[in-house]
Chain A
Amino acid sequence: MIISGLAARPVRTLVSVLAVALEVTLILVVVGLTTGISSETAKRTEGVGADIMFQPPNSSLFLAINNGSMPLALEGAIWKIEGVTAVAPVQTLVNSSSGLEIIYGIDPDKFAAVSGGFVWHEGGMFSGVDDVVVDDVYALAKKVHVGDSVELVNHKFRVAGIVEHGKGARLFISQKTARELTGLVDRASVFYVKISDPEQVNAVIERMGKVFPTYGLRPLREYAKLMMSTSMPALDAFIETVVFVALCIGVLVIFLSMYTTITERTREIGILRALGASKQFIVSLIFQESALVCFLGIIIGLGSSLLIGRAVQVVFPTLIVDISLAWMGKAAGFALISGIIGSLYPSIKAAGQDPVEALAYE
């Protein structure tokens, strides 16, 4: 009866199913992109290989939005902390002409001392001020090879080398070039610090804190955890807003669909009541139809989210859509909740209809 009821109104059923699918897709793709990008950034930052991240006071975890910078001379003071074995100053630049990309201005030797050096796919380290080293993901996304030109921060660069991804940024230039592009002389946005015994990271941070009490000192191995949405209130609020909007879409569509269904089927409800169907039976009938619509919408929504995630990665390899099983479950749950809320009033209205009046409905 439920299937035949839905099949009798194919267009409305299809629209309702697609709306629920849209709800699921909206949640999964937006959350997937947000968490994907942040977790991938975190992994890359962790991939630098340092033990401690040394940042200016009141700095953000997002290196791209750090305006403040520190004197390069701090490097010497950091070296004096007991247990420090390598320090790599990095000046970050943001290229926003084609998406949002962080560029690291590095001293190759110091960066290699912390990170263990690059794994080269093509070419080699930058030698001139117009040279840039890119990672393999960027090279694939932009379809560039060694010797090709790329435009970054309104400056034309030549690709000097292509390296394995996972060392902080996707683009690397020399400190000298970074200095020229930012106009900031002898400054660093972040110091990556390597210590002799990673187990002693908290002790080293404590010692650093006594010398640099206002600076941001974070163990790198906790960076990924800190970048997760639960640790970032703004990201959390953004995701909650997206989920709320998606939930509203689902509730409204299911409500409209079920409300028009019960209005059209008033006479049928009257027939069922005359046959001895209880109010609970009518409520359950409406809920079952709604649940079936939600179920189909969830299946299509999950499928389309995975397809969109895959398509995004094919078209934009630098974007990561992280669709986790946990969020698939949550999105399905939200779709079901919207189905329940959306069909609550229509089902109660249907069950409350007077059988005599319902039978007389034309």
Chain B
Amino acid sequence: MKTLLETIDLRKTYQVGKIDVEALRGVNLRIREGELVAVMGPSGCGKSTLMHLLGAMTKPTTGQVLIDGRDISTMNDAQLTEIRRKKIGFVFQKFNLLPTLTARANIEIARHLHGSEAKNHDEHLAQILQLLMIEQKMDRKPSELSGGEQQRVAIARAVANRPSIVLADEPTGSLDSKNSEIVLNMFRELNRRFNQTIILVTHNPELVEYTDRLIEMRDGVVVSDNDPVPFARESELTHPLI
């Protein structure tokens, strides 16, 4: 399987007042096309920072993030924006729909930003809306939708442009258990049906059962990764003579 995302000795340090806070302390990961991965860990372990880096929202202090083989650590703001627009779909805990727009307009704005290619995705979008069961809710504003419906609109917006990777930060954090189950099943369905690569960032252990792979983090480092093709093994397969 093609590697979509790779981090090499990824470090991120924030300055809080005069103190340097190391949010990530050398993270090495490899995410392949079509994977449904959970990144789990307690609050403050660096998983949200990791998500921001994987989503080209910010640049690492040191190390590399390779998205489709391109290192974002050397990119300028315009190039990072381009990566987010073309390669990444975000789903947030608080849905983050634009409150003044209808569900349809929220999806359209993402398609508009994506550019002309989006015109070819109408059939794909129709399938997505059907899968997410929000076809009848498209003319409603976020305030007229339930939490579960808002999150499904947010998922539709994230996948409307067929991004390489969907990054979901605590996607069930604001939902009740019934809606959480619906949303997680939809993530799995998107992964199965459209081979969509999805990374779920969470502290909720129940979410793990919906994913293929679990990466656990603590204190800014990866402490476990049940990668079915471990880093070393893959390296051997790719470079058998080394």
Contact = CB atoms under 8 A, between A and B. Distances in A.
Chain B CB within 10 Å, residue with most, of A267, A272, A275, A279: A275
B109 A355 contact: no
Chain B CB within 10 Å, residue with most, of A5, A267, A271, A273: A271
B142 to A, nearest CB: 11
Interface range for B: 20 to 34
Given A274-B84, A275-B113, A355-B57, A8 B77 contact: no
A281 interface: yes
A278 interface: yes
Contacts of B105: 1, 4
Contact of A1 (B78, B82, B92, B98): B98
Nearest to B87: A276
Chain B CB within 10 Å, residue with most, of A1, A270, A276, A354: A276
Contacts of B113: 272, 275-277, 281
Contact of B100 (A7, A270, A359): A7
Interface string B91-134: 01000111111000100011001100000000000000000000
A276 B117 CA distance: 14
Interface in B42-74: 52, 55, 57-58
B81 A277 contact: yes
B87 to A, nearest CB: 9
Contacts of A4: 100-101, 105
Contact of A276 (B85, B96, B97): B85
Given A4-B105, A356-B57, A276 B84 contact: yes
B86 interface: yes
Nearest to B154: A271
A107 interface: no
Contact of B90 (A7, A275, A278, A354): A275
B100 A273 contact: no
A354 B58 contact: yes
A67 B49 CA distance: 81
Nearest to B84: A276
Interface in A251-278: 267-268, 270-278
A74 B102 CA distance: 84
Given A1-B109, A356-B57, A356-B58, A278 B100 contact: no
Nearest to B109: A1
Interface in A177-219: none
A1 to B, nearest CB: 6
B96 A271 contact: yes
Given A354-B58, A355-B57, A356-B58, A276 B114 contact: yes
B18 to A, nearest CB: 19
A359 B167 CA distance: 15
B84 A8 contact: no
A79 B98 CA distance: 84
Contact of B81 (A7, A268, A270, A276): A276
A359 B90 CA distance: 12
B133 to A, nearest CB: 23
B159 to A, nearest CB: 12
Contacts of A275: 84-85, 90, 109-110, 113, 157
A356 B52 CA distance: 7
B78 A278 contact: yes
B169 to A, nearest CB: 9
19 contacts: A5-B100, A8-B100, A270-B96, A271-B97, A271-B98, A272-B109, A274-B57, A275-B85, A275-B109, A276-B81, A276-B84, A276-B86, A277-B85, A279-B77, A279-B81, A354-B58, A355-B58, A356-B52, A356-B57
Interface of A: 1, 4-5, 7-8, 267-268, 270-279, 281, 354-356, 359
Interface of B: 52, 55, 57-58, 77-78, 81-82, 84-86, 88, 90, 92, 96-101, 105, 109-110, 113-114, 157
Given A5-B100, A275-B90, A276-B84, 20 more contacts: A1-B98, A1-B101, A1-B105, A4-B100, A8-B99, A8-B100, A270-B96, A271-B96, A271-B98, A274-B96, A275-B85, A275-B109, A275-B157, A276-B88, A279-B81, A281-B113, A355-B57, A356-B52, A356-B57, A359-B92
